[in-house]
């Protein structure tokens, strides 16, 4: 079932990507990124059947990173919202040099 899993992973990843590209709400984009991470996790898990359990270990790491990312990212979003009263990325260009 590896091939199917990988195909599913690709589809989910692409959906996540499209979400990142089309959505403007920072939180939703964040969730799209989580979806993409999950898609990758799926490939890891699927391939671990063939290449050993290391893939699953990686998934655990990815989840940890995702958790950390969510914590910090959401904190950033909250502080941005405090300043700007919006989380719409179209209105946020603090990174502009």
Partner 1 sequence: MLLQTAAVASTGHSLQGSVAEWIWLVPVLPLIGFLINGWLSLRAVGHVGPADPSGEEHGHGHTDDAHHDAHDDGHQATRHPSASIVSVVGPTVLILAFLLAVAIFAALAAAQPDAPFVKQLFTWMVAGDFRVDAAFQVDQLSMVMVLVITGVGALIHVFSVGYMRDDPGYPRYFAYLNLFVFFMLVLVLGASYPVLFVGWEGVGLCSYLLIGFWFTDKVNADAGKKAFVVNRIGDFGFLIAMFLLFANLGTLDFSGVNAAAPALGAGSALVTVICLLLFLGCAGKSAQIPLYVWLPDAMAGPTPVSALIHAATMVTAGVYLVARSAALFSMAPAASLTVALVGGLTALFAATIGLKQWDIKKVLAYSTVSQLGYMFVGVGVGAYAAGIFHLVTHAFFKALLFLGSGSVIYAMHQAYHHTGSHEDAQDMRNMGGLKQFMPVTFVLMWIATLAIAGIPPFAGFFSKDEILGAVFARTHGSTLADAQWFGIPGSAVLYAVWVFGLAAALLTAIYMTRMMLYTFHGPNRSGEREREHLHEAPWIMTGPLVALGVLSAVGGWLNLPAFFPAGPIQALHHWLEPVSGDAALQVTHGAEAHMTATTEYTLVGIAVAIAVAGIAIAFARLKPAALVPKAEAPEAEGFERVLEHKYYVDEIYDRIVVRPIESGSRGILWRGLDAGIIDGLFVNGSAYLARGFGWLGARLQTGRTGTYAWVLVIGVIAVLSAFSLR
Partner 2 sequence: MPNFFYQFNFYLFGLIAIASALLFVTRKSPVAAALWLVNVMFALAALYVMLDAHFVGVVQIIVYAGAIMVVFLFVVMLLNLGDPKEISDVSGKWGRLAAGLVGLALIAQIMTLARSSAPPSLVQPPDRVADDLKALNALGTIAKPLFGEYLLAFEVTSLLLLVAIVGAVVLGRRRAAS
Do 87 and 81 contact (CB within 8 A), yes or no?
A: yes
Q: Does 84 bind partner 2 (CB under 8 A)?
A: no
- CB under 5 to 8 A by kind: which of partner 2, partner 1, none does 68 bind? partner 2
Q: Does 16 bind partner 2 (CB under 8 A)?
A: yes
CA distance 91 to 62: 30
Do 38 and 12 contact (CB within 8 A), yes or no?
A: yes
Nearer to partner 2, 62 or 96 (CB): 62
Question: Chain centroid to CA 3: how far?
Answer: 22
Q: Does 92 bind partner 2 (CB under 8 A)?
A: no
**C-beta of 37: minimal distance to partner 1 in Å?**
15
Q: Does 13 bind partner 2 (CB under 8 A)?
A: yes
């Amino acid at each position: 079932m590896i091939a199917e899993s990988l195909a599913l992973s690709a589809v989910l990843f692409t959906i996540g990507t499209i979400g990142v590209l089309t959505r403007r709400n920072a939180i939703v984009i964040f969730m799209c990124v989580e979806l993409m991470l999950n898609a990758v996790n799926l490939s890891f898990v699927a391939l671990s059947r063939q290449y050993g359990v290391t893939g699953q270990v990686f998934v655990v790491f990815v989840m940890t990173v995702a958790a950390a990312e969510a914590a910090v990212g959401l904190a950033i979003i909250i502080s941005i919202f405090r300043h700007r009263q919006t989380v719409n990325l179209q209105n946020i260009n603090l990174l502009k040099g």
